[in-house]
Amino acid sequence: MTKPDLASPQPPSGNDQGFDVLVIGGGAAGLYAALSIPAQWRIGLVTKDTLSISASDWAQGGIAAAIGADDRVSLHVADTLVAGAGLCDPAAVEHLASRAAPCIERLVDLGVAFDRTEGQLAMTLEAAHSRRRVLHAADTTGRAIVSILAEAVLKRPNITVFESAFALELWMVEGRCQGALVAYRQQLQWLSAQATVLATGGGGQVYAQTTNPAASTGDGVAMAWRAGAQLRDLEFVQFHPTSLAKTGAPPFLISEAVRGEGAHLVDDRGYRFAFDYHPDGELAPRDVVSRAIFHHLQKTGDAHVWLDLRSIPPDRIQYRFPNILRVCRTWGCDPLQEPVPVSPAAHYWMGGITTDLHSQTTLAGLYAVGENASTGVHGANRLASNSLLECLVYGAELANLPLTKKRYVAQTVGDRAVLAVDDATLTWVQQNGEQALAAIHQQRSQLNQLMWEAAAISRTQSGLEAAIAALQPQRTQWQQHPLQALHRLSPGQTYQLPEALSWPLVRAWGELCNLHAIAWLILHSAAFRTESRGGHFRQDYAETRSEWQVHTVVEGDRWQKSSPLQAP
């Protein structure tokens, strides 16, 4: 498939900066949300990279939908509730599963080429699913979906795309969101909108080992937190059990579907150890398999375990997993001939911005869809292949946004200010620009390692408190940093950035600020929940406790429990 022309349509020029809806994020959630909004409304879509680079684009396994002859919505709901370990919202799960079929039909109508068997949509089995209900397009399902959605977006004249643009802050007026501050083409622009949709994905880049792309820095959650939105369940991070663990290679995700097709997990001695930790072995929920690998490596002292695909017929591997086969061979490992070295890596963030069934946050005018939202679907542990479905089902809810016929345009848009920062900040940037970028990258690396050691697969109170103590002085330093001037610009203006304040520096600065916020939120949330459940495991509180069958609710710097939830 040819790559869509990402240079068209062109963003507006001059002072025409008002939209009916501003969508921040160019993955499946943002794209599908933009396409779901009626074409009568003017939409601005902001993406940090290009429309084809997102965690959705990296999704391999597929998208779950109970559309098979032997399947039912009630079974999909039941599987999701079990995986969520008591923290799913049953109404949200029912909403997800019951609306899957129309979303799949729309994707097919748009041209998504799902795999088929004898003319029918092919479906495979993944961990913790009771039926074969995962649709796929080889092992690049996310890419197949996102590329088609991107093409559709670029054909819509009512959608204006801002590529290589970075949203720094939400525009809040008396508790209502009316747009965002966006760095774009060496300018800082306040883009106004009746409704703003956050679809920025997860925050996996806060960890040293992650399957997420570089852009997954928790931007939406961090901006919403600073704006005063309620957040929920931020301690629940899913670590994918099987990422490539080859020296020099990135932690490339090897899909759950590989184990669904029959691959085995073995240790250096060839022993299938996963059954020692759960009766379902390799097909237990992801958190269980990740912990099984973690604890087994602690026991054996090995650096990684092995994923053996040789029990799957070679022609089946070549048909279902061509991309996995290609990447592994690129790094000197042929799955057809030998086991693949694997270990866990941060993969998906169950927590996020609290939303209702219509993707509305606790702030007027602000909506959230996709991984940066906490819809109540995933609970403490996401069921495999529910994430792409969630993007579609909850993105579709934006078809009913309460918009007025008259588009809101900022009342104070004036001439472009030449400088976006004061003289002292400008002088600092001119003297320290290159060194500042290097320092940001170094501090990001240190933050990644801190989080991997303190708040990854296995956590303790002492480790969490030590990490919080280490972050506190850095947090104070960042609040006093000269580049904080970017976050204090007068709303309604368009600012020309000085040449010394380059796009890479603005993005690096903004991402590090957001990652610090995400680390702070995860650490405090993990310390607050004194039990183990789903993706949150505490060595010092290893049991699941009934009094903790509640959401962790975050507002500002306050952590509290929600009302008790009903058992699934």
Token readout for 48 is 């940090």
8 found inside a domain: no
Cβ–Cβ < 8 Å for 438, 479: no
- Quote the pTM value: 0.91
Mean pLDDT of 203-218: 94
Helix, strand, or coil (residue 35) = helix
Let me know if 286 is a catalytic residue: yes
Same domain, 167 and 215: yes
Residue at 354: amino acid letter: T
Measured torsion, CA atoms of residues 265, 271, 275, 281, in degrees rounded to the nearest 10? 20
The kind and range of the H/E element at 121 are: strand 120-121
Token readout for 510 is 């903004």
144 found inside a domain: yes
Output the domain CATH number for residue 163. Answer: 3.50.50.60
Residue 443 CB burial class (10 angstroms; 0-12, 13-18, ≥19) = middle
For residue 568, what pLDDT is reported? 56
Residue 232 pLDDT > 50, yes or no?
yes
For residue 406, what pLDDT is reported? 60
From 42, 286, 291, 538, the catalytic residue: 286
Instruction: Show which of 369, 400, 431 is a domain's final residue.
Output: 400
Q: pLDDT of 382-436, one tens digit each?
A: 998 999 999 999 999 999 999 987 655 444 444 444 445 667 777 888 788 778 8
Same domain, 375 and 442: no
The beta strand positions in 237-379, using DSSP E, are: 237-244, 264-266, 305-308, 340-349, 352-354, 366-368, 373-374
Q: How far is residue 454's CA from residue 462's CA, in Å, rounded to a whole number?
A: 9
Q: How far is residue 51's CA from residue 43's CA, in Å, rounded to a whole number?
A: 15
Q: pLDDT of 142-164, one tens digit each?
A: 888 988 999 999 999 999 999 99
Same domain, 128 and 256: no
Q: pLDDT of 25-82, one tens digit each?
A: 999 999 999 999 999 999 999 999 887 554 444 545 689 999 999 999 999 999 999 9
Instruction: Show which of 303, 322, 347 is a domain's final residue.
Output: 347
Helix 28-36 to helix 387-396 angle, to the nearest 10 degrees? 20
418 found inside a domain: no
| Euclidean distance between the first and the last CA atom of the chain, given in angstroms as a whole number | 43
For residue 421, what pLDDT is reported? 63
Q: How far is residue 76's CA from residue 129's CA, in Å, rounded to a whole number?
A: 8
Output the domain CATH number for residue 526. Answer: 1.20.58.100
Least confident span in 410-414, 424-428, 457-461, 556-560: 410-414
For residue 243, what pLDDT is reported? 94
416 found inside a domain: no
410 found inside a domain: no
Residue 489 CB neighbours (<10 A): 18
Same domain, 319 and 467: no
Same domain, 497 and 457: yes
Instruction: Show which of 347, 371, 386 is a domain's final residue.
Output: 347
Same domain, 125 and 231: yes
Q: What percent of the chain has pLDDT over 90?
A: 73
Helix, strand, or coil (residue 31) = helix
Q: How far is residue 229's CA from residue 489's CA, in Å, rounded to a whole number?
A: 21
Same domain, 81 and 131: yes
Cβ–Cβ < 8 Å for 354, 553: yes
Same domain, 269 and 290: yes
Same domain, 330 and 363: no
Q: pLDDT of 354-388, one tens digit each?
A: 999 999 999 999 999 999 999 999 999 999 899 99
For residue 407, what pLDDT is reported? 54
Token readout for 245 is 């663990």
Q: How far is residue 225's CA from residue 522's CA, in Å, rounded to a whole number?
A: 13
252 found inside a domain: yes
pLDDT tier for residue 251 given thresholds of 50, 70 and 90: confident
Same domain, 383 and 444: no
The neighbouring-strand residues paired with 160 are: 44
Residue 319 CB neighbours (<10 A): 12
- Among 473, 485, 483, smallest CA distance to 512 is for 483
414 found inside a domain: no
Structural domain range at position 262: 238-347
For residue 14, what pLDDT is reported? 41
Q: How far is residue 295's CA from residue 277's CA, in Å, rounded to a whole number?
A: 9
432 found inside a domain: yes
Output the domain CATH number for residue 311. Answer: 3.90.700.10
For residue 413, what pLDDT is reported? 42
Residues whose CB is less than 8 angstroms from the CB of residue 397 and which lie 6 or more positions away in sequence, other chains included = 36, 357, 358, 359, 369
Domain count across the chain:
3
Q: pLDDT of 151-197, one tens digit each?
A: 999 999 999 999 999 999 999 999 999 999 999 988 898 999 999 99
Three state DSSP letters for 66-95: CCCCCCCHHHHHHHHHHHCCCCCCHHHHHH
- Among 236, 322, 260, 296, smallest CA distance to 134 is for 260
Residue 127 pLDDT > 90, yes or no?
no
Same domain, 117 and 145: yes
For residue 402, what pLDDT is reported? 93
Three state DSSP letters for 483-504: HHHHHHCCCCCEEECCCCCCHH
Residue 250 CB burial class (10 angstroms; 0-12, 13-18, ≥19) = middle
- Among 305, 290, 301, smallest CA distance to 456 is for 290
407 DSSP assignment: P
Q: How far is residue 549's CA from residue 87's CA, in Å, rounded to a whole number?
A: 6
Three state DSSP letters for 234-253: CCCEEEEEEEECCCCCCCCE
Same domain, 342 and 357: no
Helix, strand, or coil (residue 148) = helix
